[in-house]
Structures are given as structure tokens and as C-alpha cells.
């Protein structure tokens, strides 16, 4: 354990961690107080935080991409900390990390009991959910884990549009969304432990900015095609090619031979969506692709994906994506156009 008087922030990593998350967090946090002066007047200041990468053991290991991580300590070497960040720890979207991080989970509980602030990034929220500490709270995590949380962590409410969730801050629990939301979390941590001015200085040095649009503009509909219910599987295949038709839900129910109520119940059980939500999701995903790649008028795109009323289309698009179709097009149609950035 460090004897430094500086706040100790531990970054918990594993073989399933993205190097971009753990090393970016380490890079930014370890330069707080030092980098700004160096960049402005050539005189580095004092490092204000004690930052350690922590693994299950202190021995080196390789994370995602076969990148080497050499932890500063193992979990048994750290008795207390001011803050712990559970870095992303990849797991398939339908597979919770059950019984995979027992030593790390026990350590997180000890750190929490000793008054540490406990944070997570991306899939790290699923590991944190395994501790039980998140029960009863709203949290952030990657949008792709929405169904996994509903099924396996019913006492935890994943807010899929949230980037940095502070609703449980009073309980010393802070969660961040997808992998690049480490940027929002790191600014929060710097402000909390070093003050607003250091947070501003660090943001300027590293060109960090909050994800003000949330996660919805980046979210993609997860289509869990399943095979246990043959009727629903057949309907999923049919609607994938016919979502632009008139009364698609009624046509699916008729195709299944089930009553509307029974069909809706079985469809939700199999897919996680109400039938109309599923249809709207397919339509909006198709519209997003057209907005990203074509200059077609929005009214025409509305009709192409199955909405005769452009006003209704815009309303549903904004509800699902968090942006209007026009703003979405502006955000993503030139996302790889370097020349466009240079000329704006």
C-alpha cells in the first residue's frame, strides 16, 4: 500500500480489459498537477494523485489485444484507497460475469467498506453489479448490455442513455457508460479530488470534452434472433425484410396464427421487445444508415422505412436516438471526413 499523502486512485484491470481504458485513465490521472505547467510555461508542477493499476495478482498479464499490463499491485496488496475504478471487463452481451472475478469482487467490497469511492467504466458496471452494491440504484454501462441487466440484474436499472451516472454518488458509487466515457469519469474524479481548476486544466491539456449527447446517438438495436420459439424466429426473419409494410405487427400476429395478446407476450419473451418497439427499432436503424450515407430528403427516408407521416417519423426518431434526423445526419454523415473538420 502507498504511504503517499496524495489521494490514492486504483484502476482495477483484468485480462478482459481494453488497454485504451486502463492506460488512458492512468495517463491522464497521473499527470494531474504536472502537465499543465509543463505545457504552458515549461515548468512541470507536482503530481497531485497517486495512481496504481491493480490486478488480481501483482504479476504481469496480458489484456485484450495481447497487450502487456504490469500491475503496481495485486488486490491483496491494497488495504484501502480513496477511489477505485473498475475498468471495462469484456463479457458477451448475454453472458453476465458470474463466478469470474471472485477475488476482485471480495476486494471491491472491502474497499467500499473502508470508505472508498467505487466507480466503473463500460462493462465494468456488470462486474460491479456482481458485488450487490448497485442493487436499488440507476447506473450507466454500455448500451449493448441493456437486456443482460434486465434479465440478470433486475434490481439494478441500467439507464442506456446515461454517460456518467451520479444518482448513487451519495452512496460513493459512480458509473460511466461505453469505453470512451472514461473521459467523463476522469474529469469527475479530478474535480472531486483536486478541484475544478485542475479538472479544467487537465481537460485542456488532453483535449477532453463531455459526451453531451448521451449514448442514444451511438446506440444500435440489439436483435437477439433466437431459435427456441420457432414461430417468433420465423416472424423475426419475415419482419427483417418487411418492416416498411402497413400494419406490420398485425401481419406478424396473423402470420404466427396466434391471438394478438399471445403473440405480443411470446414476442417479448423471446426478443426482449414489444412487437411495435421491435418494428420501430428496425425502421429507425434503417433510417440511420440512410442518413449516414445518403443525401436523400428526410421526408423520402421517412416513407422508405415505413412512415407516411414525416412528423411522426421525426418524433419517433428523436425519442429513440436522442437527436433529430437532421442533427443526426450532421453528426455522423461526415464522421470520417477529415477535410470537413479542417474546413469548419
pLDDT digit string (tens) for the chain, length 344 residues:
445 689 999 999 999 999 999 999 999 999 999 988 888 888 788 999 999 999 999 999 999 999 999 999 999 999 999 999 999 999 998 899 999 999 999 999 999 999 999 999 999 999 999 999 999 999 999 999 988 999 999 999 999 889 999 999 999 999 999 889 999 999 999 999 999 999 999 999 999 988 888 888 888 887 665 667 889 999 999 999 999 999 999 999 999 999 999 999 999 888 888 999 999 999 999 999 999 988 899 999 999 999 999 999 999 999 999 999 999 998 888 765 543 434 33
Look-up: residue for cell 469527475? 188
What pLDDT sits at residue 224? 64
Domain range 230-332, its CATH number among 1.10.357.10, 1.10.10.60, 2.60.120.260, 1.10.10.10: 1.10.10.60
Cα–Cα dist 179/17, whole Å:
10
> Is pTM beyond 0.85 here?
no
Q: Is 74 helix (H, G, I), strand (E, B) or coil?
A: strand
Look-up: residue for cell 479538472? 199
User: What does 140-203 look like in DSSP terms, one character per residue?
Assistant: ---GGGHHHHHHH-TTSEE-TT-SEE-TTGGGTEEEE-SGGGHHHHHHHHHHHHH-HHHHHHHH
Cα–Cα dist 41/91, whole Å:
45
CATH 3.40.50.1700 at 8-217, yes or no: no
> Helices 248-256 & 275-293, crossing angle to 10 degrees?
130
Cα–Cα dist 96/280, whole Å:
28
Q: Is 163 helix (H, G, I), strand (E, B) or coil?
A: coil
Count of all residues that appear for the chain in the document: 344
What pLDDT sits at residue 344? 37
For the chain, which residues make up each domain, given as ranges? 8-217, 230-332
Amino acid at each position: 500500500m502507498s504511504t503517499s499523502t496524495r489521494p490514492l486512485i486504483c484502476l482495477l484491470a483484468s485480462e478482459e480489459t481494453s488497454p485504451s481504458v486502463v492506460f488512458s485513465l492512468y495517463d491522464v490521472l497521473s499527470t494531474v498537477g504536472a502537465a499543465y505547467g509543463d505545457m504552458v510555461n515549461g515548468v512541470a508542477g507536482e503530481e497531485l494523485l497517486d495512481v496504481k493499476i491493480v490486478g488480481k495478482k501483482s504479476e504481469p498479464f496480458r489484456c485484450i489485444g495481447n497487450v502487456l499490463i504490469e500491475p503496481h499491485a495485486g488486490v491483496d496488496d491494497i488495504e484501502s484507497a480513496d477511489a477505485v475504478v473498475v475498468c471495462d471487463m469484456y463479457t458477451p452481451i448475454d453472458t453476465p460475469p458470474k463466478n469470474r472475478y471472485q477475488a476482485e469482487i471480495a476486494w471491491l467490497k472491502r474497499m467500499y467498506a473502508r470508505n472508498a469511492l467505487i466507480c466503473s467504466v463500460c462493462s465494468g458496471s456488470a462486474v460491479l453489479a456482481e458485488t450487490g452494491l448497485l442493487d436499488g440504484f440507476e447506473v450507466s454501462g454500455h448500451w449493448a448490455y441493456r437486456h443482460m441487466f434486465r434479465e440478470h440484474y433486475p434490481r439494478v436499472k441500467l439507464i442506456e442513455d446515461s454517460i456518467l451516472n451520479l444518482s448513487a454518488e451519495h452512496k460513493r458509487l459512480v458509473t460511466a457508460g461505453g469505453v470512451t466515457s472514461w473521459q467523463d469519469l476522469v474529469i469527475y474524479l479530478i474535480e472531486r479530488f483536486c478541484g475544478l481548476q485542475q479538472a479544467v486544466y487537465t481537460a485542456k491539456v488532453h483535449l477532453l470534452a463531455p459526451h453531451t449527447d448521451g449514448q442514444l446517438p451511438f446506440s444500435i438495436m440489439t436483435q437477439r434472433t433466437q431459435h427456441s420459439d420457432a414461430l417468433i424466429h420465423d416472424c423475426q426473419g419475415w419482419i427483417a425484410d418487411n418492416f416498411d409494410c402497413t400494419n406490420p405487427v398485425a401481419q406478424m400476429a396473423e402470420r404466427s396464427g396466434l391471438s394478438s395478446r399471445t403473440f405480443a407476450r411470446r414476442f417479448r419473451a423471446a426478443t426482449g421487445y414489444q412487437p411495435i418497439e421491435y418494428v420501430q427499432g428496425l425502421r429507425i436503424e434503417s433510417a440511420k444508415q440512410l442518413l449516414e450515407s445518403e443525401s436523400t430528403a428526410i421526408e423520402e427516408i421517412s416513407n422508405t422505412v415505413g412512415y407516411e407521416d414525416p412528423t411522426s417519423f421525426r418524433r419517433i426518431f428523436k425519442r429513440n436516438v436522442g437527436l433529430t434526423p437532421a442533427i443526426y445526419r450532421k453528426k455522423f454523415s461526415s464522421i470520417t471526413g477529415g477535410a470537413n473538420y479542417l474546413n469548419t
